[in-house]
Each structure stands twice: as structure tokens, then as C-alpha cells.
Amino acid sequence: MDNPLLGQEPLPPFARIRPEHVEPGVRELLERSRARIDQIASVQRPTFATVVEPLEELQHRVSKVWSPVSHLNAVINSDALRTGYNACLPLLSAYQTDLAQSEPLYRAYKTVAEQEGDALGPVQRQVIEHALRDFRLAGVGLPPERKARFKAVMLELTQLQAKFEENVLDATNGWSYRVTDESELKGLNSTLIEQARRRGHEQRVEGWILTLDQPTYVAVVTDAESEKLRRSFYEAWSTRASDKGPNANRWDNSAVMEDIMRLRHEAAQLLDFRNYAEYALSTRMAHSIEEVMKFLLELAQTARAAAQQEFAELEAFAGRKLSAWDVGFYAERLQRERYSVSQEEMRPYFPLPHVLTGLFEVASRLFGIRITEKQDVPVWHPDVRFFEIQGADGQPVGSFYLDAYARSNKRSGAWMDECVGRKKLNSGSALPVAYLVCNFLPPNAGRPALLTHDDVLTLFHEFGHGLHHMLTRVDYPSIAGINGVSWDAVELPSQFLENYAWHPDVLRRISSHVDTRAPLPTETQQRLIATRSFHAGLQMMRQLEFALFDFRLHAEYDPAKGARVMQTLSEVRGEVAVVPVPEWNRFPNSFGHIFAGGYAAGYYSYKWAEVLAADAFSAFEENGVFDSKTARRFLDAILTRGGSRDALEAFIDFRGRRPDVRALLKQHGILATGELAA
């Protein structure tokens, strides 16, 4: 059978991939790969060329086939696709564990390290070191029974994490709100109202249908004057996939979370770690539980007073006690009154095509690259666009897809993912390809999509991840791009690039009023920039709440007591929350970052890497934000290096010293205490 997933084209043939190709394609791929592994593992004289390179090639191939499958499952989910995807999860998990637990391969890598180590370059040595570490972290040295148990646990975890994601998607798609009294829509933007009207029309009902997609949710809790509407949306959103709210118990993730936590703990203990947090830290920049907790608690201590004052001010402004669903609304009003700036009023100034051009110019000025759109590339949805990147020498360096708009059956949030990883091996070469996925409000009534400034930040953020993936110069897929980078340093390039979306020159360049084509007026721009520190304390405390919750959940797990998800959250809230949260809020049940994604015991990474990003950007501020020498050093020391060097070492190489938390506090207008600044 000619399975499009198994072709050799440089890009996935999206136009031809059907759900029925998924399981047979993956089965065939894994069968061939296993046969190849047997060959590699029985090589007589293991060398870098006969063992390591072929295995790098094989892993590249497996992820290249699987990438479009998991991507499609996230962005155009359907029952058929889900079935195919789910059928493959146990196959892949078993394959990966078998590979990582292979003693012959492990021995072969050790032989290469011992016999060839001195003759190899630092990048090649890092490939081997990472691989040896991953063998150990898959339990290669364990007795057979424990090895088998570890494999079973990994397999079950993969399935539970997918189930978690499915429940969230179904719960999000499974709720909508019908408005019959037009006054209830007051405050919402016209694009949203028009779309809701059209949806009502399509479903042949009176009135307007508002769905629970992310842009609608954010718009409602920020702008809707009707408290009833805001409360309904807040309740539906914050009880998704739980035992509470309008669809209570229908897609409940409570038991799924319980099982995930139990199995993560067991996996960590099988490898002789005390808990999952310790296991996770074994590959991170931060080295101990104490180090992470100290970092988070000190930040909380620094930001608490500011956050409390901000909230007190907000209640004074509203003239009443505020509920959770009022905070965004009144914060927006207060911001509007104080700075005469609102996110909604920003939209006409940020048409997506213009923002993209400006963003590409920033990347071009900094790193000498050129980005051009390419037509006629097969995509999975008509809204998707494709771009190619050329280096300063005119040579192609990578490419990416952009899937910008919210729609049903698409996972909420925004992310960058690897479509194809970079490789330059004896067996062949490939340039990196990325997916950039956002959930912006789609174009309407002949106008392009109009972004809020928050959306602009999101776009810059994901593009920063994209550059990390696409500008890599590492030849070995396992440590190219974001692969093999300590997870707590992964957000450095993304948060770094966000800084540019706040810069006056860039704001002027990326803004163009949709009707008048005028850039954002200087005075509005100054007011917008002033909002950067607005509610910085509250935002910091909220991020710290998520980070502490995630970290403590994984560090303090006790099999005798179970996961204690809600208890842990309420303990953390007791310590750091400033805004009151209703008892029925079930935020963890849709917290995909830590239960379904890669941020388990790693949500602190956002703050950790934000320190790195702010401090790295301060080097640009000292020399000029487009200073080409500084940009070149950033590119050479950090952005192109993937996982080929230690993250702290890379940072010190660029900055000339260790990271300093004061850069972040300064950026947010929160003053550092003497102690923390040390």
C-alpha cells in the first residue's frame, strides 16, 4: 500500500493523509525500525559512524512520520483521527521504551564513548552523553521485572495523558451559550457578535450562539458588561472536564489526574528517585527541589505586596468586593481609565498580515534572515500558510507552517512544534520545519484577522520558539533545535522575543490601522508600553500559584494519601493567591501543560527562563536592541546551539556572568529586595 505517511518527501503530504493511513503506517514504520535497531545493536565494532549516526537517522525518521499525526490530532481532531492516534500511542510508547532499555545499544554507546571519546568533537560527545543519560533514565540497568514495570507505566501514562487532552477538548466543544436578549452582548467586539449571530443562523435558532473557544472566553470575561454572561463563561471554562459546572461529571479528568500522578511517582521510584520532581530535575538547569522552591517563594515574597495593593486598588475602583469573573473586566476598565488603552481598541492597529511582516523584519534585522511565503504547499486547512527562511548567505535554512485562527476541534492555546528536525548526517540531510499554532479571532467581513496586543505577544513568543528550532546549526537531531535543551531553559528564546513586541520602533512597524493604514500614534504607543507593568504583581502571583501547585504536587506525592490535587491547590492558594477563587473552580482539570504536556514539575520553567530572557534582553538594551554584534553573540552562544551545550554555560558565555533576577523585576516594575538581588 502506498502510505503517504511513509513517503520520502521533505514535507508531509497533508492533502493525502487520511485517518486510515495512521495505524498501518505507524505499524510498518516501527516494524522496520525495530529490525534496523537489531542490526545496529549487533554491529561488531561500534563506532560513532556505525551506531550513533544510524540511530540518530532512525529517530529522525520516526519523529518525522509521527509528527503530522499528532499535529493533525491537535488541530483538526475527529473521531477517526483520534481512533488512529490512540491506537498508535501504545505502539510508540513500547517502541521508545524498548529502544531506551536496550542493553546491547547501551553497551555499544558506552564502547563508543570509551574508545572514540577523545577523537570526537564536543557536539558528538554531547550526543553520546545525552543518549547514555536517557538510557539510564529509562531504566536500562534495572532488573528485568522492574524494567518491564517501567515500560508498562510509561505506556499507561501516554494513554492517560491523551485521555486528559481529549476530555478537555470535548468539554470545550461541548458547551455553548445562547443569547436571546441583545443587551447581554454589550461590551463585546463586533467581530465576535457577528460570528455568534451567524452561528445562531446556521443552527436555526433565535439569537446569538457564543462558543467556549479561547478568544471568545477571553473576550467575554474581559469585556462583557453582563455579569451573568461573565459568570456563566467563567464557570464553564474553569470547570471544564470536572465534577462541577454545567457539564459536571461528563468528561471528568479527576480520576485521570489521580492515575497520572500515581504512575509518575511510581516511574520515578523505579529509577530510585524519591519523587517525580527529582526525576524531572535530573535533566534540568535547576538542580534540586530546594533550589526551585526557594526561587519561587522568594519571587512570591517580592511580588506579594504589589499584588495585594493592586487588588485593593481594583476593588476600590469597582466600588465593591470582586468575584473571580469580575477581575478581568474591572482590570480592563481600570487600565482603560489610567492609560486610555484597551486590548479591543488595539485590534484595528494590528492586522495579522502587517504584524507578520513587521515580525519578520525584526528577525531579519537581528539575525540576517529572510522570510518569504510559499504558495501551493499542501496544508491541513485552507487558512494555513507556509513560509521559508533563508540565511544571510541566501541559502535555505528552514521553513514553517502558520495555523493562526481558532476553530472547533482545535486544541486551545498557542504552541510551536517540530514538523521536521534538522539533520546533517552521512545518510542524508534535512532542514528544520516548524508548526506555529495560535488561536486568534478569524478574519471577518472582508477584513484580515485583527489582533490584540496580547495576541501580538503570543505570536512573537511562538515565533521565538520557532527560531530556536529553525535556526539551529546542530547536525544531530537528538540535540538540534529545542531537542535536548534543559526544559527550564526552553522558554528563553520565546520570552526573549516578546520584548521586541514592546519596543517603540517595532510597535510603529507592526501597526497599521486597518482602515487608515496609520501606525499606532506615538502617544497611544507610550500609553500601551506603560501598561506593561500594570498588575505585574497580580500576574506574577498567578504564575507563581500555577508553578508552586505543579511543583509541590509532584514533589510531595505520597502513595498513602493519593494526589491531593485540590488540597494542594488550596494550600498553595492559601500562601500566594491574592484574588479569591470560588470553591467550585476546577482549574487543574484542564491544566494540560502539566497533566498532558511536557511541563510536569516544570511549570516553574516559565519564570525561570523569564529571568534568563529578561537578563539576556538587558544586554541588548545596553548595546542597542538591534545591535548586530550582540545579536550575533546571542545566535552563536544560545539560539543555534540546541542541546549541544549546557544551558547555564551557554548563558554565561553570552552574558559574561550568571543570570540576575533583577532584570526581570525591573522589567515588571517590581522592586527587588536586597536579599533577592544577591
Which entry of 166, 278, 462, 498 is annotated as an active-site residue?
Answer: 462
Q: Minimum distance between the CB of residue 452 and Zn ion, rounded to whole angstroms? A: 18
Q: Which is nearer to Zn ion, 224 or 492 (CB)?
A: 492
With vertex at residue 252, the alpha carbon angle to CA 487 and CA 232, rounded to the nearest 5 degrees, is 95
The C-alpha cell at 602 is: 516544570
Picking from 420, 422, 416, 400, the residue whose alpha carbon sits closest to that of residue 641 is 422
Span interacting with Zn ion, options 34-42, 54-62, 99-107, 487-495, rule CB under 5 A: 487-495
Give the footprint of Zn ion on residues 621-650 (CB under 5 A): none
Q: Minimum distance between the CB of residue 667 and Zn ion, rounded to whole angstroms? A: 17
At residue 237, φ and ψ (nearest 5 deg) are -70, -45
Q: Minimum distance between the CB of residue 464 and Zn ion, rounded to whole angstroms? A: 8
Residue nearest to Zn ion (CB): 494
Picking from 37, 43, 42, the residue whose alpha carbon sits closest to that of residue 58 is 37
Q: Minimum distance between the CB of residue 290 and Zn ion, rounded to whole angstroms? A: 26
543 binds Zn ion (CB under 5 A): no
Q: Which is nearer to Zn ion, 74 or 267 (CB)?
A: 74
Query: Within 10 A of 44 (CB to CB), how many other CB atoms are there?
Result: 5
Span interacting with Zn ion, options 3-11, 310-318, 397-405, 493-501, rule CB under 5 A: 493-501
Cell 534540568 belongs to residue: 284
Span interacting with Zn ion, options 382-390, 422-430, 491-499, 647-655, rule CB under 5 A: 491-499
Span interacting with Zn ion, options 89-97, 354-362, 449-457, 488-496, rule CB under 5 A: 488-496
Q: Is 3 helix (H, G, I), strand (E, B) or coil?
A: coil
Picking from 573, 545, 543, the residue whose alpha carbon sits closest to that of residue 668 is 543
CA 123 → CA 110, 116, 630, 640, distances in Å? 16, 13, 24, 12
Q: Minimum distance between the CB of residue 488 and Zn ion, rounded to whole angstroms? A: 12
Span interacting with Zn ion, options 108-116, 494-502, 616-624, 640-648, rule CB under 5 A: 494-502
Tell me which amino acid residue 76 is.
I
Q: Minimum distance between the CB of residue 116 and Zn ion, rounded to whole angstroms? A: 37
Q: Which is nearer to Zn ion, 381 or 593 (CB)?
A: 593
Picking from 263, 236, 232, 259, the residue whose alpha carbon sits closest to that of residue 247 is 236
Beta strand 433-440 pairing with 396-405:
parallel
CA 309 → CA 67, 301, 339, 466, 535, distances in Å? 46, 14, 18, 38, 9
Q: Is 580 helix (H, G, I), strand (E, B) or coil?
A: coil
C-beta separation of 123 from 59 below 8 A = no
Please name the helix (run of DSSP H) or strand (run of DSSP E) that holds residue 667, with its range, or none. Answer: helix 662-667
Cell 473586566 belongs to residue: 329
Q: Minimum distance between the CB of residue 648 and Zn ion, rounded to whole angstroms? A: 20
**From CA 94, how far away is CA 92, in angstroms rounded?**
5
String marking each residue 440-479 x if it binds Zn ion according to CB under 5 A: ----------------------------------------
Q: Which is nearer to Zn ion, 244 or 469 (CB)?
A: 469
Q: Minimum distance between the CB of residue 609 and Zn ion, rounded to whole angstroms? A: 9
Q: Which is nearer to Zn ion, 60 or 71 (CB)?
A: 71
The C-alpha cell at 578 is: 491574592
Query: Within 10 A of 361 (CB to CB), how many other CB atoms are there?
Result: 14
Q: Which is nearer to Zn ion, 52 or 438 (CB)?
A: 438
Cell 509528527 belongs to residue: 67
Classify the C-alpha dihedral 566-571-575-581 as positive or negative.
positive
Q: Minimum distance between the CB of residue 547 and Zn ion, rounded to whole angstroms? A: 14
Give the footprint of Zn ion on residues 567-596 (CB under 5 A): none
Q: Which is nearer to Zn ion, 166 or 491 (CB)?
A: 491
494 binds Zn ion (CB under 5 A): yes
Span interacting with Zn ion, options 153-161, 405-413, 489-497, 568-576, rule CB under 5 A: 489-497
The C-alpha cell at 122 is: 564536543
Cell 456563566 belongs to residue: 232
**From CA 674, how far away is CA 277, in angstroms rounded?**
29
Helices within 319-368 (DSSP H only): 324-339, 343-346, 352-367
Q: Which is nearer to Zn ion, 117 or 598 (CB)?
A: 598
Q: Which is nearer to Zn ion, 21 or 465 (CB)?
A: 465
The C-alpha cell at 629 is: 554584534
605 binds Zn ion (CB under 5 A): no
C-beta separation of 316 from 518 below 8 A = no
String marking each residue 249-268 x if it binds Zn ion according to CB under 5 A: --------------------
- 98 burial type by CB count under 10 A (0-12 exposed, 13-18 middle, 19+ buried): middle
**From CA 636, how far away is CA 196, in angstroms rounded?**
48
Query: Within 10 A of 43 (CB to CB), how many other CB atoms are there?
Result: 15
C-beta separation of 586 from 168 below 8 A = no
Q: Minimum distance between the CB of residue 606 and Zn ion, rounded to whole angstroms? A: 8
Total residues contacting Zn ion by CB under 5 A comes to: 2
Q: Minimum distance between the CB of residue 610 and Zn ion, rounded to whole angstroms? A: 10
Q: Which is nearer to Zn ion, 513 or 593 (CB)?
A: 593
> Among this protein's residues, is 491 annotated catalytic?
no
Q: Which is nearer to Zn ion, 233 or 617 (CB)?
A: 617
At residue 114, φ and ψ (nearest 5 deg) are -70, -45
Classify the C-alpha dihedral 192-193-199-203 as positive or negative.
positive
Give the footprint of Zn ion on residues 393-412 (CB under 5 A): none
Q: Which is nearer to Zn ion, 230 or 461 (CB)?
A: 461
Q: Minimum distance between the CB of residue 356 and Zn ion, rounded to whole angstroms? A: 19
- Residues in touch with Zn ion (CB under 5 A): 491, 494
Active site residues: 462
